[in-house]
Each structure stands twice: as C-alpha cells, then as structure tokens.
Structure 1
Amino acid sequence: MACSASMESLQPRTAVEEITRCRSQYGANSYGQLGLGHKEDVLLPQQLSEFCKPGCVKRITGGGGHSAIVTDQGSLFVCGLNKDGQLGLGHTEDVLYFTLCKSLLGCPIQQVACGWDFTIILTKNGQVLSCGSNSFGQLGVPHGPRRCVVPQAIEVQREKVVSIAAGLRHALAATASGLVFQWGTGLASSGRRLCPGQTLPLFLTAKEPSKVTGLENSQAVCVLAGSGHSASLTDAGELYVWGSNKQGQLASRAAFLPLPQKIEAHRFQNEKVAAVWSGWTHLVAQTGLLWLRA
C-alpha cells in the first residue's frame, strides 16, 4: 500500500520533480527553492547540477518556499526559504543550492514532509524530528522556542513512526501499531468558526503529538495533510478524512469535519483505496490491488 503527501503538489511556489532518474525542476523560484543557484523563475525543466550520484534520489518534496530531497542512502538535502530555520542547517539564511543537512549525518532519513514554514523528518528507526517555525505548535514541542534552526526530536508516545505529513500549520504521524497523532493548531481557527458552540477534539488544538480520536477501529498505514485538512489510509484500503471541506475535498456535505469520517466505498466504486495523494485543497485516490503491510 502506498500514499503520498508531497507539498510540491500543494502549492505553486515550489516545483521539483524526478524525471526518468534525472533531477529536473521548474516553476516559481523566489527563494531559490529549485536549487539552481539563483532566484529567477524557471519556465522549462532544467537538469539539476549533480550533488549526489545519478539515480540515488528516493523522495522529493516541497513546502511554502523550500525543497527537500532524501537519497537512497538516507541523506537529506535542502534548499530555498529558510527565514525560520526550516532547512535545519543551523542558520536562517536562504540557500540556493541543495545542501546536505550535516546535523543528521549518521542518522538515515526515511521520509521528509515540508509544511508552509517548517519541516518534519522521519528517520529509518522511526524517530520524528522537526525544525522551522513553531508559531502554531507545528513542531510538536509545546514549550520550545518560536522557531528551531536544527532538527529536534519529537516524542510520539514512545512508538515507532512509519509515516508523517505536514500541512499549512499542522502535522501528523502514523505509528507501527496503526495509531494516528496530530499536532499544531492550524485547523483550530476554521473549526471554531465553522462549528460554533462545539467543543473541538484535543488533537485539533494540541501543540504536541495528540492521538486522533475516531480511528479506534482502524489501522493506519500512512497519513496525509493539505492546507487545512488531514487524511489517513488504513491497511484495509479505507480512507478517513477530517478538517476543512471548503473546496469539497473531503467528499462531505459538512463545511468542517472535527472528527475523522470514512469516505464510503461507493465513492470509489466499491473498490479498496491503494494509494492517496493530498494537494493544497484536494485529494487524489487510486484504487486497485492493495499492498498489505507485513
């Protein structure tokens, strides 16, 4: 089973793609997020200067103005906007070339999720780290500073994490036991506005990892996030969604879903969901043969 929540599909400020094993990039480049050494927009794909061996790129993702690449050896390279330390390089200067995050050397990376102005990192041993802005608790460290320029560990109930996601001002993690945790208050304001008089669940207002309630009868294998929504894909091929439904991205009549709601199977022609991708205000699901986790 596969899923993806790369922020390069969420907003037009970053466009980085892996094309036939060659790293190419194009689009908005106001902060050097394309890694080309300048801040001019690029209208046609340009091959990226070599910073790692050909064919070694494993994952590519982008945030509000920064980009990240994980190699097959678990190294993390970053570039772009860095005013809040979201690149994790120990400073707040923008970076125009993909640069190795040296503070993580010896700590192989499995996945990286870029939010608007922060970054969530998952190591191969299941540990979660964060850096960047913490103005809305999106770093998962409630008593920490308003920003962090070096990746710091997040405590997710002492469980091994298998999937992470980052939205505008919130983040999620799924554990090996199938639990889902969320932190960051990015969804709370729209929840209060669209659900007046209703007490919001704790995970919508938490500034540290909080268990998402309403998923007790499911086993999550991955999580996704958009600007103001969240989603979880289960090992049974079911898709749960919550948060903002302003653009109808949650397939519900409600404007806001404070608790996870399963999208009924008939929406997918009664097929199981095999993969999901989240955009800024939309979701894309692929049905078919499930890749069951071991």
Structure 2
Amino acid sequence: MEREPSASEAAPAATALFAWGANSYGQLGLGHKEDVLLPQQLSEFCKPGCVKRITGGGGHSAIVTDEGSLFVCGLNKDGQLGLGHTEDVQYFSPCRPLLGRPIREVACGWDFTIMLTEDGQVLSCGSNSFGQLGVPCGPRRCVIPQAIELQREKAVSIAAGLRHALAATASGIAFQWGTGLASSGRRLCPGQTLPLFLTAKEPCRVTGLENSRAVCVLAGSDHSASLTDAGELYVWGSNKHGQLASQAAFLPLPQKIEAHCFQNEKVAAVWSGWTHLVAQTGLLWLRA
C-alpha cells in the first residue's frame, strides 16, 4: 500500500508572477492600461521560476530571466524599452536588439533603461535629454540599446536614477553619468564648483572613492551610493529626506556613513528607493 508523501516530500508549489498598482502605460504587463487595486497574475510569457530580476522605472517595467533574456513593457515614448520603436507596450515582450548578448542585470530610470550583459558590457536606451545614456554628443533619444564605454573596464553592477546612472567595474571603480544631480547641487551648494562626475554626459569616474573598491552602485531620484568590498557605504547627492544620514542638504562628493549607524557592523547589501535607502548587515558577499 502506497503511503501519502509527507509535506517535506511534496512537490514544490508552482511559482507565479503578480502585478498591481498604477498602470497608465501598460507597465503591469496585463494587456490594458487600467490601474489595478489587487494583485493580478500575469499571463505566462516565460517560466516564472526562471525570473531572476524584476524592476521598474517611471512608467516601464523589465524582467530578466536566468537565461539572460530581457522582457519589457509600459511607457516607450523615448524608446526606453529598446524595441526599435516608440509605441507603448501592454504585455511583457522580449527585447531582442541586444547585440546577441545575454543580460545579467537591468536598471530602469525615469525615461531610460540601462542594461548589463553577462560579459560586462553596459547598454543604454531611451531619453538622453540629460546625458543619462552615457553617449557624448548622442541623440536626444535612442530606441535600440547601444554600448557605453567604461574606459575598457568590465562592469559588475549598474544603477539608474531619475536622470543619472552609475556602474561599478570589476576592478572596483565607480562611474557616474547624466546631469540629473547637477541642478540640485548648484542650488544647494552656491558658489561651489561641482565635481566633473555630476555634470558628465559620458561615464566619469566618481572622485572621492579612490581608496575604496566598489562592488555595488545604487541610485535614487537624486542621490547615489556605493558599497565597498570592506562593507562600507558611501553616499552623495541630495539629502532632502535625510536619506544620506548627514546634516548637509547636498553632498557633492561621496561621504561614508559611519559604522556606528550600523551598530558597528559591516554592510552586506544595500537597496535604494526613490528617496530612501535600506541596508543589511551581516556576512559580506561579493559580486562576481
């Protein structure tokens, strides 16, 4: 007589993707543009168990699978979906013009998208009104992902804010581009010369981090952050909401958040929202 399998032996529950909230541009991938008050399951466009990353921008969304495929939907008036056109998309659709490279990570800004390939190349598409695509003298928008040069460095981490972007390289260098933080800096630091990386329209090394090795970069609406391999967190940009743990209204250069703020423990991981940061302490991990 066969026995019933125990709970520990039972087959794992099927995974599924759900979406809800604002949907003015179809960014939920549900096939319409009506706001959704309760979570709704997405129709299958890939195996849910294979989803590696999910992220969103001002009005668009992106999903990366374990195989390195990229699916996008939502607002596309500046080509931020990288599909070769500027029509909004209401279902998650594969982004195919990626130079034949699998995607490791994606970061969505307000109206642009930054992609990191498995071989360390950074790509960008969407609006370039503030140099956020990292291509000097480039067009005001780009509808197909294009490569960004990081001084022949391979990237391991990327981030996108409102109108600026960052990348950290395998050698631990942090780059920033896009002029999104410059207007706040000029207003809040009158008479002070801003560092070049705040006004650059192509990747520029972030000064003030020369004695540290960046393993992860982050961006909010108007701030940036870098986590080092020593578990230290550096922050800069707007501090309007106290997100930089400083008394200054604006930090033009990276400033380390003192260890006592984290009960003298090393920071293992950090996440950035639009105007806040969340940090986790504990065992350090390093991105490959």
TM > 0.5 fold call = yes
Residues 114 and 124 of structure 2 are in contact (CA less than 8 Å); yes or no, is this contact kept in structure 1?
Answer: yes
CA drift of 1:104 comes to: 2.0
93, 116, 126: which is aligned to 2:120? 126
The equivalent residue for 1:15 is: none
Could you tell me which amino acid in structure 2 is paired with residue 79 of structure 1? C
Q: Does 1:233 align with 2:221?
A: no
Equivalents in 2 of 1:187, 1:269: separation in Å?
30
CA drift of 1:62 comes to: 0.1
Q: Equivalent pairs: percent with the same residue?
A: 88
Q: Does 1:189 align with 2:172?
A: no
Q: Does 1:199 align with 2:193?
A: yes
Could you tell me which amino acid in structure 2 is paired with residue 21 of structure 1? T
Q: Summarize the Cα distance change of 1:118–1:20 in structure 2 as closer, same or farther, 3 Å threshold.
A: farther
The equivalent residue for 1:90 is: 84
Residues 235 and 293 of structure 1 are in contact (CA less than 8 Å); yes or no, is this contact kept in structure 2?
Answer: no
Where do 1:72-111 residues align within 5 Å?
Answer: 72-104=66-98, 106-111=100-105
CA drift of 1:21 comes to: 3.3
Equivalents in 2 of 1:20, 1:173: separation in Å?
35
The equivalent residue for 2:6 is: none
Equivalents in 2 of 1:188, 1:74: separation in Å?
34
* Deviation string, structure 1 residues 109-141 (Cα, Å, up to 9, x no partner): 000000000000000000000000000000001
Q: SS where residue 103 of structure 1 aligns?
A: coil
Count of residue pairs brought into register by the alignment: 276
Equivalents in 2 of 1:117, 1:196: separation in Å?
29
Task: Give unmatched runs, 5+ long, in structure 1.
Answer: 1-18
Equivalents in 2 of 1:86, 1:290: separation in Å?
34
Could you tell me which amino acid in structure 1 is paired with residue 231 of structure 2? G
Q: SS where residue 139 of structure 2 aligns?
A: coil
Q: SS where residue 85 of structure 2 aligns?
A: coil
The equivalent residue for 2:4 is: none
Could you tell me which amino acid in structure 2 is paired with residue 23 of structure 1? L
Could you tell me which amino acid in structure 2 is paired with residue 29 of structure 1? N
Q: SS where residue 276 of structure 1 aligns?
A: strand
Q: Which has the larger radius of gyration?
A: 2
Residues 27 and 41 of structure 1 are in contact (CA less than 8 Å); yes or no, is this contact kept in structure 2?
Answer: yes
213, 216, 221: which is aligned to 1:219? 213
Equivalents in 2 of 1:115, 1:183: separation in Å?
13
CA drift of 1:291 comes to: 1.7
258, 275, 281: which is aligned to 1:281? 275
CA drift of 1:76 comes to: 0.4
Residues 215 and 286 of structure 2 are in contact (CA less than 8 Å); yes or no, is this contact kept in structure 1?
Answer: no
CA drift of 1:54 comes to: 3.2
The equivalent residue for 1:3 is: none
Q: Does 1:30 align with 2:24?
A: yes
CA drift of 1:22 comes to: 1.5
Task: Give unmatched runs, 5+ long, in structure 2.
Answer: 1-12
Equivalents in 2 of 1:72, 1:249: separation in Å?
32
* Deviation string, structure 1 residues 55-95 (Cα, Å, up to 9, x no partner): 01000000000000000000000000000000000000000
Q: SS where residue 261 of structure 2 aligns?
A: helix
The equivalent residue for 1:9 is: none
Could you tell me which amino acid in structure 2 is paired with residue 108 of structure 1? P
Q: Does 1:69 align with 2:63?
A: yes
Which structure carries more relative contact order (alpha carbon 8 Å, separation 6+)? 1
Could you tell me which amino acid in structure 1 is paired with residue 263 of structure 2? Q
* Deviation string, structure 1 residues 136-188 (Cα, Å, up to 9, x no partner): 00000121100000000000111000000000000000000000000000000
Equivalents in 1 of 2:14, 2:156: separation in Å?
27
